[in-house]
């Protein structure tokens, strides 16, 4: 009996080997094709100058529980409640007849398809130009990115009802903000606490700068923007709750203190991680949010004149071909490229926002500190907004990618990625009215 079974296995072995070889050959076939390079194409450009008006609103995200908790590779817990509420927070600005909206979502990322759907809903209420940004919390709901790589690596199984819930909250927040427009003055300042952040992968160190913009109405602040760069990965993993991490807690603290609707915008923090060490677990998260809220409150503010320049330009940039060489073993490189190609966008949107003295470039990913420095140098911007209007993954300098350094081991594209984004950023910065 045993000998006959062994004989059958021996007879099947060539077939198994042939099947494995065929599968490997099929997976290694170049399904990706060539990715053409072209100049950036302007998709939107608005400009206004005059007295500033602003409106703001926040609307709770209502996840269709139970939902997967996004942020990390499997296994992922499912949540049937929120530990701290999740929100869509929006500010609408108007100067010289031009309106621009910003909406910040307590999410890990914003896929380009989701950004498009939010814009379509905003357009129905009369708002044409919107930046859609994620706070990058690694403990919020998932299920809103249909790309296979995203579903496998961070956001979990795609669900249309999750997308509907997010789109509704974002659209309602923008509509309510637009409906509450009122005259405001603009005040801008910054504070620094370098000990709050460290680099998790070497290279350029994060500076711990927090930039603050306050929109002050007749009866007090209407809203504020806080630009800061650090990964929101403080909430312990595997908790069966959705949670906005330190960005949501920070915004709530500032709002309770009378600062108006507060949007936390992530900067160039691809390699920046929180260094705050007081407390454990959720106590540590809360402690850091309080420390950042105090830092924001201490930031000295300078008033901007009555006439404010407001402009927003957005352009599509052609992406380089995906490159899995740093992500998978050499033997499976071709298969890895094919998997990335199925999920990677061929076009990505880059934006530039001018708001008085603030000149911000917006990129659809996680630029490292060094990549952010390069973007500032190339554009003359005062700051970089990450996680905006799409997601192409990490963005490292070409030198780091070629040397396998920094965050390059997490980057989906080859060394040309930053150059493609920088060329587009130069283009939209010029369209928005600022240059080096």
Beta-sheet strand order (sheet of 182-183): 130-134, 98-105, 87-95, 52-60, 182-183
CA-CA distance, 148 to 145, in Å (whole number)? 8
CA-CA distance, 247 to 250, in Å (whole number)? 5
Taking only the tens place, the pLDDT of each residue in 388-413 is 999 999 999 999 999 999 999 999 99
Taking only the tens place, the pLDDT of each residue in 92-145 is 999 999 999 999 999 999 999 999 999 999 998 889 899 999 999 999 999 999
Mean pLDDT of the 232-259 span: 96
Question: Which phi and psi (to 5°) does residue 216 adopt?
Answer: -105, 120
The mean pLDDT value of the chain amounts to 92
CA atoms within 13 A on the CB side of 404: 5
Confidence of residue 17 (pLDDT cuts 50, 70, 90): very low
Tell me, what's the pLDDT at 268? 97
Cβ pair 251, 262 in contact under 8 A: yes
Beta-sheet strand order (sheet of 358-362): 41-50, 308-318, 347-355, 358-362, 383-385
CA-CA distance, 424 to 268, in Å (whole number)? 17
- Provide the whole-model pTM: 0.92
Tell me, what's the pLDDT at 24? 39
Taking only the tens place, the pLDDT of each residue in 306-358 is 999 999 999 999 999 998 888 777 667 777 777 788 888 899 999 999 999 99
Taking only the tens place, the pLDDT of each residue in 26-41 is 444 456 777 888 999 9
What does each C-alpha distance from 304 to 188, 214, 320 come to in angstroms?
Answer: 7, 10, 40
């Amino acid at each position: 009996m045993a000998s006959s079974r062994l004989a059958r296995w021996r007879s099947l072995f060539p077939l198994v080997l042939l099947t494995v070889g065929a599968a490997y050959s099929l997976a290694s076939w170049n399904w990706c094709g060539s990715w053409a390079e072209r100049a950036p194409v302007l998709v939107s450009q608005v400009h206004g100058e005059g007295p500033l008006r602003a409106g703001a609103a926040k609307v709770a995200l209502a996840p269709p529980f139970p939902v997967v908790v996004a942020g990390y590779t499997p296994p992922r817990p499912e949540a049937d409640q929120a530990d701290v509420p999740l929100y869509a927070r929006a500010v609408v600005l108007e100067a010289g007849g031009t309106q621009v909206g910003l909406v910040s979502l307590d999410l890990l990322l914003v896929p380009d398809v989701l950004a498009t759907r939010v814009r379509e809903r905003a357009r129905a209420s009369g708002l044409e130009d919107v930046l859609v940004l994620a706070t990058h919390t690694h403990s919020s709901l998932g299920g809103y990115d249909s790309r296979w790589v995203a579903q496998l690596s961070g956001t979990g199984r795609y669900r249309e009802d999750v997308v509907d819930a997010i789109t509704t909250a974002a659209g309602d927040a923008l509509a309510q903000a637009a409906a509450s427009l009122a005259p405001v003055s603009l005040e801008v300042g910054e504070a620094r606490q370098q000990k709050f952040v460290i680099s998790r992968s070497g290279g350029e160190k994060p500076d711990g700068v927090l930039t603050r913009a306050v929109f002050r109405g007749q009866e007090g602040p209407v809203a504020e923007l806080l630009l800061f760069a650090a990964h929101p990965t403080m909430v312990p993993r595997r908790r069966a709750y959705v949670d906005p991490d330190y960005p949501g807690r920070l915004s709530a603290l500032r709002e309770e203190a009378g600062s108006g609707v507060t949007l936390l915008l992530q900067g160039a923090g691809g390699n920046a991680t929180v260094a705050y060490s007081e407390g454990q677990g959720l106590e540590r998260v809360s402690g850091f949010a309080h420390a950042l809220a105090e830092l924001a409150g201490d930031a000295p503010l300078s008033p901007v004149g009555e006439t404010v320049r407001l402009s927003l330009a957005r352009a599509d940039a052609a992406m380089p071909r995906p490159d899995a060489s740093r992500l998978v073993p050499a033997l499976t490189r071709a298969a890895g490229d094919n998997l990335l190609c199925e999920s990677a966008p061929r076009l990505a949107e880059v934006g530039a926002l001018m708001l008085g003295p603030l000149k911000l470039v917006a990129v659809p990913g996680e630029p490292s500190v060094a990549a952010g420095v390069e973007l500032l140098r190339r554009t003359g911007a005062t700051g970089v907004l990450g996680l905006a209007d799409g997601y192409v993954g990490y963005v490292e300098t070409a030198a780091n990618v070629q040397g396998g350094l920094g965050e390059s081991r997490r980057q989906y594209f080859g060394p040309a990625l930053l150059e493609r984004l920088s060329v587009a950023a130069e283009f939209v910065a010029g369209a928005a009215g600022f240059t080096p």
